[in-house]
Amino acid sequence: MRIDVVSIFPDYLAPLDLSLIGKARQDGLLDLHVHDLRSFTTDRHRTVDDTPYGGGAGMVMKPEPWAQALSAVVEARPEGARKPVLIVPSPAGERFTQALAYELAEEEHLTFACGRYEGIDERVFEWAQEHFEVRPVSLGDYVLNGGEVAVLAMVEAVGRLLPGVVGNPESLVEESHSDGLLEYPVYTKPSQWRGREVPAVLLSGNHGKIAQWRRHEQYRRTAERRPDLLEGFDAGNLPRADRSELHVLGYDIVAGRLVRRPIG
């Protein structure tokens, strides 16, 4: 996969040289390029922002440096490659999820446009649709100072799904959000630590019982921390023991979907 990131703070993306993503780059699994938006300006001050039309606080990123930078990305893409996806980090975008990470991991080429100030002149995205599939994406319902932190998170979440990046691909299967639930609690040696024991079932060697315990812990944890994930969860084919566990947690199955029982 090729990834291009455009930012006025290219050094912000330095952590992408580290750990598994850094190794994936070294191994040629990820071809990642970071571009300084200011190098696409033409004035002496390398200006990238100006005051907003209509008034109001803050500055807006000028369109022309963005058009120049994104044109350079389009020109550098491999011959015959599909239209690249342009991810625009924005608190006003669709929510970034594990499902979207899987979808993006199927792409050949992703480009990220890191906004700053009050964001980028909207006309850039209208123009960019000729060359990219444009997707505004939010990391969550809060406001950051710039798109770089969001890009670090998204590149890591997508990059680790590429074949060969994570040593044991099995470890991707049972993670939080891979099946719509949060992950079960995990433990390692020693089995006794500061007066606390590992749940006995994990030492039993009974794989069926361990799998059931883990699934039930997933339900419990998800009900406690993220009940929104359980509402509407596809429960059509769950074993009887799982249904009982969910009943205890306050959920019924209606037309194959989990529904929270009204309290009281």
Contact set with ligand SAM (CB under 6 A): 89-92, 114-116, 118-119, 138-140, 142-147, 150
**Min dist. Cβ of residue 34 to ligand SAM (A):** 15
Map the chain to HEC letters.
CEEEEEECCHHHHHHHHCHHHHHHHHCCCCEEEEEEHHHHCCCCCCCCEECCCCCCCCCEECHHHHHHHHHHHHHHCCCCCCCCEEEEEEEEEEECCHHHHHHHHCCCEEEEECCCCCCECCHHHHHHCCCCEEEEEECCCCCCCCCHHHHHHHHHHHHCCCCCCCCCHHHHCCCCCCCCCCCCCCCCCCCEECCEECCHHHHCCCHHHHHHHHHHHHHHHHHHHCHHHHCCCECCCCCHHHHHHHHHCCEEEECCEEEECCCC
Nearer to ligand SAM, 55 or 262 (CB): 55
**Min dist. Cβ of residue 101 to ligand SAM (A):** 14
Nearer to ligand SAM, 110 or 202 (CB): 110
**Min dist. Cβ of residue 150 to ligand SAM (A):** 4
Nearer to ligand SAM, 139 or 235 (CB): 139
**Min dist. Cβ of residue 38 to ligand SAM (A):** 16
**Min dist. Cβ of residue 229 to ligand SAM (A):** 20
Nearer to ligand SAM, 87 or 258 (CB): 87
Nearer to ligand SAM, 77 or 135 (CB): 135
